[in-house]
Amino acid sequence: MNNTTQLGSGTHTESARARQGKTLLIGTVKLESPVIPAPMAGVTDLPFRRILKAMGAGLVCSEMVSAQALVYGNARTLDLLQVSREERPISLQLFGSNPETLAKAVRILQDYPIDLIDLNMGCPVPKVVKNGEGAALLRDLPRAAAIIQAVVAAAGCPVTVKMRAGWERGQEVAPELAILAEQAGAAAVAVHSRYRADFYSGEADWNIIKRVKAAVKIPVIGNGDVTSPADALAMMEQTGCDGVMIGRAVMGNPWLIKQVTAVLRGVPVPPPPTHKERFALMKEHFRAQIKFSGEKRGILEMRKHLSWYMKGFPGAARFRDLINSAESKEAVLELLRKLEEQPVKGG
């Protein structure tokens, strides 16, 4: 189980000093930082990825894209492929259950400015799993291996695999799947140390990441229960993993990427954002989302982000209700202005 260590903003450990300036090589792609935000459906779109990149993320990854929908030219799926060169290096995550379809999807992507292809073999959502995709592949390792092999053969870039520990407790397959991935030509694996049956509940078991690291020579990226710089440092020290992937903890707190990057480099951890800095980013994110998605859709997409950003603020619940009913850009910005002007305890 993960045992978090306490770490002050000025604490330097010998292991952290050893990592200072260290890069992470995935195939031919060099990452300037081993800190990677997890791909998350409905979250890691272009505007948010740009923010994460500005915070120092070594790699950003798209929302997961259906290989079948991509091959069929689905309009919404094509929207998910919007990337910018300033994000690079960037990974695009695909999911599917048919090796041939996935290979076709990868060939379609060869003209896009993408540096890596990531294969999702961990998504626990029922609508994905019922089609034999995502975490369902944890119960069909021969198919999983065939998919990896087909995609590696078709891709003109390194291929990575994101997996969970297994389908349910007592059925750990991550080390075996990682070995198969390495044999099929994958350049790295990311391991979410929960089982599909766990979804996002309970405590992640970092010992699974440690066992995967011992099983393969390719880079292993650890994922699960990293919510602070201390967590990230503890995960790397306890498991020997080569990189840290952070998921839900960056929702409303992208500054965490900057803080984790600092501690892994052995430099002082920057303080949390000030009240002014927090609201400046909220407004920047909101305006970028409107520009990217259009006003109507952008407002809908930002409601969740603004709720995450405002978590813990006095009166935040009331303002969330108001923002969820706001229908214009001006109305949302006015609500943010009012919330920003509220007195902050200790501030």
**Do residue 71 and residue 163 come from a single domain?**
yes
The answer on pLDDT for 22 being more than 70 is: yes
**Do residue 75 and residue 202 come from a single domain?**
yes
Tokens of 40: 């998350």
Closest-CA residue to 33 (of 307, 333, 340, 265) = 265
243-247, 249-253, 319-323 — which is least confidently predicted? 319-323
| CATH code assigned at 330 | 1.10.1200.80
**Do residue 91 and residue 178 come from a single domain?**
yes
**Do residue 197 and residue 325 come from a single domain?**
no
CB atoms within 10 A of CB 18: 10
Print the domain residue range for 156. 14-265
The confidence score (pLDDT) of residue 344 equals 58
Residue 147 · residue 19 · CB < 8 Å: no
User: Kind and range of the H or E element at 92?
Assistant: strand 90-95
Q: What is the mean pLDDT of the chain?
A: 91
**Do residue 173 and residue 308 come from a single domain?**
no
The confidence score (pLDDT) of residue 4 equals 41
Give the integer Cα–Cα distance in Å for 102 and 105.
5
Task: Label residue 217 exposed, middle or buried (CB < 10 Å: 0-12, 13-18, 19+).
Answer: exposed
The answer on pLDDT for 7 being more than 80 is: no
Give the integer Cα–Cα distance in Å for 220 and 291.
36
Give the integer Cα–Cα distance in Å for 261 and 186.
25
Q: What is the DSSP letter of 172?
A: B
Give the integer Cα–Cα distance in Å for 113 and 132.
29
Residue given tokens 């603020």 in the structure block = 313
**Do residue 214 and residue 313 come from a single domain?**
no
9: in domain? no
User: Kind and range of the H or E element at 189?
Assistant: strand 188-192
The answer on pLDDT for 347 being more than 50 is: no
| CATH code assigned at 65 | 3.20.20.70
Give the integer Cα–Cα distance in Å for 335 and 63.
29
- Tally of structural domains, the chain: 2
Residue 244 · residue 59 · CB < 8 Å: no
The answer on pLDDT for 124 being more than 70 is: yes
Q: Considering 222, 237, 265, which residue would you say is the last residue of a domain?
A: 265
Closest-CA residue to 62 (of 35, 78, 77, 44) = 44
Question: Which tens digit of pLDDT belongs to each residue from 181-238?
Answer: 999 999 999 999 999 999 999 999 999 999 999 999 999 999 999 999 999 999 999 9
**Do residue 193 and residue 283 come from a single domain?**
no
Three-state DSSP state, 292: helix
Question: Which tens digit of pLDDT belongs to each residue from 31-81?
Answer: 999 999 999 999 999 999 999 999 999 999 999 999 999 999 988 898 889
The catalytic residues are: 123
pTM: 0.92
155: in domain? yes
